[in-house]
Structure 1
């Protein structure tokens, strides 16, 4: 394809500058995002198991609820019946220690069960914050800021990302046929990184287009949701993807109320209406109007799902009839199915574990794409300076080199250290503590990058990232199979 040389050069410059501005943020987003595809399994893996009797059967839940509510009347305000117990949700009946509060991450809850004699046994439990922090790191593109500011900034980065994709494709088109399979690994650093960057970019382009568009959607989701509500008559409940299973953020008031139908009958009624939908939790809440609401969170592998953990539906707790299915896979309207498709394509919430592993690989490949782009930019910049008579990189080039290596290897090392600490100690239940560990490692790598001279910088930081990453399986093996 023939394009005027000046136009190609213009788009090449746009691609280079936009890439260097957004590349470091996108590296963190893709590296952490690839890992967060497995957020729920990772949370279960890093959470310390709670000491409780085995979960009762679903048919025994009414007896468990009666005894739990007699001992803890406040639990009736908001509680969860867990149909598929995990390490993070280890009991059939759980309720938050502080009801009526909206949380973005794992919640400090009380888990209840019955012992062999039928006596009530409870224990306080909170899942590890590490998996949730990695997902937040992905959404905040590495910045220690809070919503909604980080989300708006992420939207700007996503728009720059889209510009980089378009300009990169246009710049690459004239040499598409000649260089599409080129991989010159022994013909100089610039050609090596150029070929790696082009190869990764062109073959993962559809994935990157999907991620860029859906990221813009998430960044401005509040505005889009308001328009969606007006246009499509959205349901009364809005599902926040950050809310963990069993919490939808309703404000509760004290009221003595139990559901009219036992959980086992609720499940049977739901199966008649949606046979392929597999419920995971039943979330009961008393609203400020003294009315009990029931949300069922579950999954259906035959359809794309709105959130990473699945979809949800609102049911009538007295009859089990579905009241709202706009976020329920398989029963959505056409308009909501379109939005669900965009969400699912971003999260990889379809096709089971095969798709999730594919997203993990594509996430890491995307992170390496931005790393190779930064390397390519730095090499090109230094070559231009040498042509102008410079004997060493300028202060600007040195600064960009140091911050590139510090941020990239700091992100890898920080995440790896978090997982190792979570495996070694049970003290990763505090989001603040997890954040401090990560940013301490990140800042240390950044400091090393600025203090260590060029020949040693990449070796030291690369060795640090490799050692901390390899430490994760070694610690796991030693903890569970050796000691």
Structure 2
């Protein structure tokens, strides 16, 4: 395909500058995002097991709930029935220490069970914050800022990302047939990194297009949702892809609610209405002084699902009748099915573990794509300076070089240190402490990048990455041998 040389050069410049501006943020987003595909298994792996008896059977739930609510009347305000217990959700019945708070990550919970004699046993439990932090790092493209500011910034980065994709394709088209499978690893640094970058970019292009479009959708999801609501009169439900607790005004003491079906009967009623939907969690909350709401989180492998945790259905707790299917796989309306497709394609929440492993690989490959693009840009810039008579990189080039290597190696080292520390301590503090540890490691690597000589930079930072990453399996093996 022939394209005018001046047009190719213009798009090459656009691709280069957009890439260097967004590449560092995108590296963090893809590296952390690839890992967060397995957020739930990672959270279970890093969470300290609760000191509780084995979960009671679903048939025993009425007895457990009766004893728990008698001892803790406030638990009726907001509680969770776990149909598929995990390390993070270790008991059939759990409720938050502070009800009515809107949250997206792990919170302090009271987990309840029955001992062999039928006596109530409760413990305070909180899953590890590390997996949730890595997912937040992915959403915030590495910035220590909070919603909605980080999401709007992420949207800008996603738009730049889309521009880089389009311009990169236009630049590569004229030499597609000649350089598609070219991989010149022994013909100089610039050609080596160019071929690696082109090869990774071309063969993962469909994945990157999907991620770019869905990222823009997430960034401006609130605006899109409001427009969609006006157009299709959609019921207001949970807007974020995380499961958020509804914020309600709770009374300090328990209230009397109408009788509800037992969890076993809820599951049976749901199976009759949606045979393929497998419920995992029943979330009860007080809608007002005389009414409860019930949201069921579950999955259906035959359909794409709204988020990593699965789909969502609203039920009547007194009858088990489905009240809302807008977020329920297989029963959604056409507009919400389209929206769910974008979410599922971004999270890999379809096709089981095979797709998740594919997304993990593509995420790591994507991170390396941005690393290679930044390295290619730095090599090209230094070559231009050498042509103009420079004997060493200019201040701008040196600054971007230090920033690139410090940020990229700092991100990898920081995440590895978090996982290693969580494995070493079994339970790792608050979200704030996790954040401080990550950004401390990140800033140390960034500082080292600016301090060490140019010839030692990659070697020193690379050794840091290797050591912190290898520490994860070493700590795991040592813990396994000790236990």
- TM-score, reference length from structure 2: 0.98
What are the ranges of 5 or more consecutive residues in structure 1 without an aligned counterpart?
A: none
Deviation at 1:236, TM superposition (A): 3.5
State the secondary structure of the residue aligned to 1:2. Answer: coil
Partner of 1:294: 294
Question: Residues of 1 paired with 2:73 and 2:310: CA distance?
Answer: 31
Deviation at 1:321, TM superposition (A): 0.6
Partner of 1:462: 462
Deviation at 1:334, TM superposition (A): 1.2
Partner of 2:473: 473
Partner of 1:203: 203
What are the ranges of 5 or more consecutive residues in structure 2 without an aligned counterpart?
A: none
Partner of 2:401: 401
Partner of 1:8: 8
Question: Residues of 2 paired with 1:250 and 1:384: CA distance?
Answer: 61
Partner of 1:155: 155
Question: Residues of 2 paired with 1:482 and 1:260: CA distance?
Answer: 47
Q: State the aligned residue count.
A: 481
Deviation at 1:73, TM superposition (A): 0.5
Partner of 2:228: 228
Deviation at 1:26, TM superposition (A): 0.2
1:246-395 matches, within 5 Å, as: 247-253=245-251, 254-257=254-257, 259-395=259-395
| 8 A contact 1:79–1:94 mirrored in 2 | yes
Deviation at 1:424, TM superposition (A): 0.6
Question: Residues of 2 paired with 1:248 and 1:468: CA distance?
Answer: 39
Deviation at 1:335, TM superposition (A): 1.2
Partner of 2:37: 37
| 8 A contact 1:47–1:127 mirrored in 2 | yes
Question: Residues of 2 paired with 1:235 and 1:270: CA distance?
Answer: 20
Deviation at 1:258, TM superposition (A): 6.1
State the secondary structure of the residue aligned to 2:255. Answer: coil
Partner of 1:111: 111
State the secondary structure of the residue aligned to 1:43. Answer: helix
Deviation at 1:234, TM superposition (A): 1.6
Question: Residues of 1 paired with 2:258 and 2:119: CA distance?
Answer: 20
> Is 1:121 the equivalent of 2:121?
yes
Deviation at 1:290, TM superposition (A): 2.9
State the secondary structure of the residue aligned to 1:287. Answer: strand
| 8 A contact 2:258–2:291 mirrored in 1 | no
Question: Residues of 1 paired with 2:223 and 2:289: CA distance?
Answer: 28
Question: Residues of 2 paired with 1:126 and 1:256: CA distance?
Answer: 28
Question: Residues of 2 paired with 1:183 and 1:260: CA distance?
Answer: 65
Partner of 1:67: 67
For each residue in 1:414-463, what CA deviation from the matched residue of structure 2 results, as whole angstroms up to 9, or x when unmatched? 00000000001144130000000000000000000000001111001001
Question: Residues of 2 paired with 1:120 and 1:266: CA distance?
Answer: 23
Question: Residues of 2 paired with 1:327 and 1:34: CA distance?
Answer: 24
Cα 1:82/1:231, change in 2 over 3 Å: same
Question: Residues of 1 paired with 2:60 and 2:276: CA distance?
Answer: 24
Partner of 1:101: 101
Cα 1:232/1:289, change in 2 over 3 Å: farther
Deviation at 1:259, TM superposition (A): 4.3
| 8 A contact 2:258–2:318 mirrored in 1 | no
> Is 1:414 the equivalent of 2:414?
yes
| 8 A contact 1:414–1:442 mirrored in 2 | yes
Question: Residues of 2 paired with 1:310 and 1:65: CA distance?
Answer: 26
Question: Residues of 1 paired with 2:240 and 2:315: CA distance?
Answer: 18
- TM-score, reference length from structure 1: 0.98
Partner of 1:77: 77
In angstroms, what is the RMSD of aligned CA positions? 1.1
Question: Residues of 2 paired with 1:443 and 1:398: CA distance?
Answer: 18
| 8 A contact 1:127–1:429 mirrored in 2 | no
